[in-house]
């Protein structure tokens, strides 16, 4: 199979779909890889590094999309990239379709088959291709939140760890999954006072044991959420409904009762955000203020630490990329229900229930999509 790796074009996105190490593995299995010139610059990988690993170098994205059987990316395809996809072509990347009807329509119109990293599952019910970026984003959330709390950044002027004689900052983490756990780990490491809210008592017990009493775990009710958020210096939104739009858990009225200069970091912004006042920002202009509260809502947070993120992501995605290349998407998905859970779009149809529901579009079960491959449906 010919696998194409275009350069990412989302604002300040420096990651790349395949590392040279991953290219070497694919080449070893008899596949050809075509990488756009300069695609790896953001992680310190030169075109020469890719050539040495066995890749060909294409002058532009159009050449990659025109020739490749499978496109491997990191971020969701932008409009120009969607229009370069074609019927029968396979796209393997993050999609986050639930809050993005325009991308969904363009992918449907292209006739491609799109498998989303974020909905591939594992035997434990986890999301193995989302986990590495959730780990990065969770750790970054506290890092960027701490900077946003500085007075020069518009914050309250609070040092999260405090100093002797001055209390540490209060960090509230909404959601005890991968993002929340890693955010809490960083906040505890800085010496902050940390509260984690979640609706799963088993998960709260796990977190209590994991942190050995260094965090406060609290069952998430409306009252508990309100009390915690309004007293926090930093709130990290770390909720996830796989494939679906994030619930708006924190309302504007609650934010309005936070102290001026407090900070919210909405890691769920890729799925629409969990704060009512959230809107996606970029690394170029990452924050804005609503009712005196600083909002950090960058939709590709791990892109800022591109080298770490790309290698962590490739460690997780490479086995699936190999399976798709070795077997073709139909056989690979038929043999692996966890990979099949990643199928979001096929030949003009939405094949992931939560996405179809969020966008009010017809739903075709992935199992049905495996049975045929009709021509693309045109979407107005």
379: pLDDT strictly greater than 70: no
pLDDT reading at 377 higher than 60: no
Catalytic: 96?
Answer: yes
Percent of the chain with pLDDT over 90: 92
Which position among 31, 96, 338, 346 bears the catalytic label?
96
- Mean pLDDT across 146-150: 98
Segments making up each domain of the chain, as ranges = 2-111+305-371, 132-299
Sheet of strand 32-36, all strands in order from the earlier edge strand to the far edge: 56-58, 32-36, 2-5, 70-72, 90-93, 113-116, 343-346, 349-350
* 132-299 CATH fold: Rossmann fold (3.40.50)
Give the pLDDT band (50/70/90) at residue 316: very high
Would the CATH topology of 2-111+305-371 be identical to that of 132-299?
A: yes
Res 339 pLDDT > 70? yes
Instruction: Decide if 12 is catalytic.
Output: no
CA 249, CA 109: separation in Å to the nearest integer? 34
Residue 375, pLDDT > 70, answer no
pTM: 0.87
Query: Which member of 170, 233, 266, 270 is catalytic?
Result: 270
pLDDT computed for residue 298 by the predictor: 96
- H or E element that contains 33: strand 32-36
pLDDT at 74 over 60: yes
pLDDT band at 376 (very low <50, low <70, confident <90, very high): very low
Q: Topology of domain 2-111+305-371, per CATH?
A: Rossmann fold (3.40.50)
List pLDDT tens digits, range 88-144: 999 999 999 999 999 999 999 999 999 999 999 999 989 999 999 999 999 999 999
- Judged against a pLDDT cut of 80, whether residue 380 lies above it is answered with no
d(CA 142, CA 130): 19
């Amino acid at each position: 199979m010919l696998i194409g790796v275009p350069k990412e074009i989302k604002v300040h996105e420096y990651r790349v779909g395949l590392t040279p190490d991953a290219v070497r593995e694919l080449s070893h299995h008899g596949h050809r890889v075509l990488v756009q010139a300069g695609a790896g610059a953001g992680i310190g990988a030169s075109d020469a590094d890719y050539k040495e690993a066995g890749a060909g170098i294409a002058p532009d994205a159009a050449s990659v999309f025109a020739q490749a059987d499978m496109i491997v990316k990191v971020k969701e395809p932008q409009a120009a990239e969607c229009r370069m996809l074609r019927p029968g072509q396979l796209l393997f990347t993050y999609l986050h379709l639930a809050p993005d009807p325009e991308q969904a329509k363009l992918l449907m119109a292209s006739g491609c088959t799109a498998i989303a990293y974020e909905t591939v599952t594992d035997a434990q019910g986890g999301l193995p291709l989302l986990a590495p970026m959730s780990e990065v984003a969770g750790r970054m959330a506290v890092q960027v939140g701490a900077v946003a709390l500085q007075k020069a950044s518009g914050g309250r002027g609070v040092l999260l760890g405090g100093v002797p004689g001055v209390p540490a900052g209060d960090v509230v983490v909404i959601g005890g999954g991968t993002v929340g756990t890693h955010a809490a780990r960083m906040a505890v490491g800085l010496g902050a006072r940390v509260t984690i809210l979640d609706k799963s008592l088993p998960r709260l017990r796990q977190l209590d044991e994991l942190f050995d009493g260094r965090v406060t775990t609290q069952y998430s009710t409306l009252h508990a959420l309100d009390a915690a958020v309004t007293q926090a210096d930093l709130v990290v939104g770390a909720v996830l409904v796989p494939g679906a739009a994030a619930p708006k858990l924190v309302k504007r009225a609650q934010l309005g009762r936070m102290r001026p200069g407090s900070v919210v970091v909405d890691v769920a912004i890729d799925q629409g955000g969990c704060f009512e006042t959230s809107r996606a920002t970029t690394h170029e202009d990452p924050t804005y203020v609503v009712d005196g509260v600083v909002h950090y809502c960058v939709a590709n947070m791990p892109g800022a630490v591109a080298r770490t993120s790309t290698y962590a992501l490739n460690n997780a995605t490479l086995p699936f990329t190999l399976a798709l290349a070795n077997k073709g998407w139909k056989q690979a998905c038929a043999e692996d229900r966890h990979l099949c859970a990643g199928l979001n779009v096929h030949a003009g149809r939405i094949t992931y229930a939560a996405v179809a529901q969020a966008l009010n579009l017809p739903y075709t079960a992935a199992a049905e999509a495996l049975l045929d491959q009709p021509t693309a449906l045109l979407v107005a």
